[in-house]
Structure 1
Amino acid sequence: MIRLIAEDGQMRSVKVGFSWTVFFFGFLVPICRGDAKWAVIMFAASVLTLFFAQLVFSFTYNGTYIRELLSKGYRPEDEYSRAVLVAKGYIA
């Protein structure tokens, strides 16, 4: 679990790797995180693929969410979070 913080002080904790919450709850996870764009994409893909896409998103969603937060200006809160992001290739 890493912690990202925005310039305004808003903090997000994000797990790196497989998302069990997406595996079990699908498109409801991005809704709870306030990520409407990915909620719609995941819902449509899950319906069109008879929920096979939910398995794929379980492996990819946390990484996608981290990249979007970083692009919005979030930065690692501590050295551990920074080291994990560097090790996984999210930042240099």
Structure 2
Amino acid sequence: MVIVKMMINLTNSQTSHFKQVKVGFSWTTFFFGCLPALFRGDWKWFFIIALIEIIFGIPTIGFGAGIIGIIFSFIYNKLYINDLLSNGYVAADEASNRILQSRGFTINK
């Protein structure tokens, strides 16, 4: 069995920033909760995930925070990519464009 990391390349033509982003399940979010969003500089989702983990983690002695981490593991990368696309990033190459289209992302032209 071959495990393929599906990475895409995004670029912002206005700022000349380049980002390589993983598409699909977020193992880092699974293991570290809101910290991957913090390290990516994604302040909005860092605070949202942290707040939800605190709200559900305190009354359940941490168990609820783990459940929230599992849920966000499935959706965080998609949320992050959608935010990048809405902030002017576009696929940097044809392969990234095909991956985005196959995963149902709205592509900015």
Shared fold, TM over 0.5:
yes
Unaligned 5+ runs, structure 1: none
Shift of 1:71: 0.2
Give the distance between the partners of 1:26 and 1:48, measured in 2 at CA: 14
Give the distance between the partners of 1:54 and 1:46, measured in 2 at CA: 8
Residues 7-49 of structure 1: CA distance to partner in whole angstroms, max 9, x if unpaired? 1210111111100000011111111000111111101111222
Q: Which has the higher contact order (CA 8 A, sep 6+)?
A: 1
Partner in structure 2 of residue 12 of structure 1: 19
Residues 45-70 of structure 1: CA distance to partner in whole angstroms, max 9, x if unpaired? 11222211111100000000000000
Partner in structure 2 of residue 65 of structure 1: 80
Q: How many residues were matched structurally?
A: 92
Q: How does 1:71-82 map to 2 (within 5 A)?
A: 71-82=86-97
Unaligned 5+ runs, structure 2: 1-6, 57-63
Shift of 1:6: 0.4
TM-score by length of 1: 0.95
Runs of 4+ in 1 over 6 A off after TM superposition: none
Q: CA RMSD in A?
A: 1.0
